[in-house]
């Protein structure tokens, strides 16, 4: 079960009315109706004109599956947006699976600009399903309902999201508060994985729900050979320096680089590419892996701008090319071996 010291007082992110809030020092979300109206008009116009993505942005399914099965433990496959298959510690983790056509209830939400590289029907087996928060592009009802092996998979989610999976047939569900963790896996040689829920700067809501009634989180995945940070959705804030000091360093940080424009609306919920690099620096990450771009248009930035700015910002901060990963959708890469094993999962 999750392990955490008892709180003597209510944690700062728990509010008296049962809702949640961001860590202290996070940017404030200030909106006005005119800004929101202008934003929705601009995004609606963008979505009418489906952008043409470059050749190689999405790998054909047959090739993607060959790549995936060519590699084993300590490898990562990007399925698009914030969806990854991560193999380490003898286990496979699937994050924020969004493999359907629309990021919204039914066909109401934004439609993907590219097809999924791997269909739900051909998705490789996985042991752990991790979801960072309840927004439709991360908690996709169609995908969640169609995933196989609901009784065998362990679902790890932030507080308040367990019931969503329970009513859809999942039986092994763990809800975590920030800083809680659970160790999964009993393979003595591989050692399993410790999953820790960590604070990020975002919010939560679905159609018919009030704001922030369920928690949002990033996650640390730590095995004997790997320490990976998965950012979910987040703006940049002081909390990343705290996470780096308390939980870092990390081998890899999976960070969102898209949906950052217009800044007046997005600055409190999504990092810019430059801020994503700052997150990686704060976390003490050896490699930065870009996500949350090139799959569905949720902001007003040009579709190919995020990776260009991410690579430029990383280079300006001293990251070599092999430490800045912009993957194709469907691509699998082996994670470079560490010089020595992590000493423990503490």
**Sequence spans of domains, the chain:** 45-334
Task: Pull the structure tokens for residue 312.
Answer: 């430029």
Task: Please report, rounded to a whole number, the percentage of residues in the chain having pLDDT higher than 70.
Answer: 90
Categorize the per-residue pLDDT at 346 as very low, low, confident or very high, splitting at 50, 70 and 90: very low
β-pairing, 218-222 vs 91-95, is unpaired
How do residues 201-218 score in pLDDT, each as one tens digit? 999 999 888 899 999 999
CATH architecture for the domain at 45-334:
4-Layer Sandwich (3.60)
Task: Please report, rounded to a whole number, the percentage of residues in the chain having pLDDT higher than 90.
Answer: 82
Beta bridge partners of 130: 95, 156
d(CA 238, CA 23): 8
Judged by phi (left if over 0) then psi (alpha if -120 to 50, else beta), residue 106 lies in: left
d(CA 113, CA 166): 31
How do residues 259-275 score in pLDDT, each as one tens digit? 999 999 999 999 999 99
Work out the average pLDDT over 135-154. Answer: 97
The pLDDT score that the predictor gives to residue 282 is 99
The pLDDT score that the predictor gives to residue 335 is 98
Task: Pull the structure tokens for residue 260.
Answer: 């950052």
Work out the average pLDDT over 109-122. Answer: 94
pTM for the model: 0.94
The pLDDT score that the predictor gives to residue 182 is 98
How do residues 6-22 score in pLDDT, each as one tens digit? 555 789 999 999 999 99
Task: Pull the structure tokens for residue 201.
Answer: 């700067």
């Amino acid at each position: 079960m999750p392990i955490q010291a008892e709180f003597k007082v209510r944690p700062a992110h728990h509010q008296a009315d049962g809702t949640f809030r961001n860590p202290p020092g996070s940017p404030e979300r200030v909106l006005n109706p005119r800004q929101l109206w202008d934003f929705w008009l601009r995004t609606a116009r963008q979505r009418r004109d489906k952008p043409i993505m470059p050749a190689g942005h999405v790998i054909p399914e047959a090739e993607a599956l060959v790549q995936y099965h060519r590699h084993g433990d300590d490898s990562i496959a990007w399925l698009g947006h914030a969806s990854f298959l991560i193999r380490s510690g003898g286990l496979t983790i699937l994050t924020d699976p969004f493999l359907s056509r629309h990021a919204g209830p039914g066909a109401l939400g934004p439609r993907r600009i590219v097809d999924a590289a791997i269909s739900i029907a051909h998705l490789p087996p996985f042991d752990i399903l991790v979801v960072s928060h309840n927004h439709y592009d991360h908690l996709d009802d169609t995908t969640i309902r169609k995933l196989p092996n609901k009784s065998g998979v362990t679902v790890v989610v932030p507080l308040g999201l367990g019931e969503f999976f329970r009513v859809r047939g999942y039986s092994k569900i763990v809800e975590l508060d920030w800083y809680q963790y659970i160790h999964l896996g009993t393979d003595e040689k591989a050692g399993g994985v410790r999953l820790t829920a960590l604070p990020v700067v975002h919010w939560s809501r679905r159609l018919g729900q009030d704001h922030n009634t369920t928690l949002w989180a990033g996650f640390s995945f730590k095995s004997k050979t790997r320490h990976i940070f998965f950012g979910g959705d987040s703006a940049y804030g002081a909390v990343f320096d705290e996470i780096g000091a308390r939980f870092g360093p990390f081998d890899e940080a999976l960070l969102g680089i898209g949906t950052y424009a217009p800044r007046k609306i997005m600055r409190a919920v999504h990092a810019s590419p430059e801020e994503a690099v700052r997150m990686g620096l704060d976390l003490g990450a050896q490699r930065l892996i870009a996500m949350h771009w090139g799959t569905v248009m949720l902001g007003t930035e040009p579709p190919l701008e995020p990776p260009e700015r991410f690579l430029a910002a990383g280079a300006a901060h001293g990251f070599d090319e092999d430490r800045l990963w912009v993957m194709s959708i469907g691509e699998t890469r082996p994670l470079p071996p560490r010089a020595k094993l992590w000493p423990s999962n503490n």
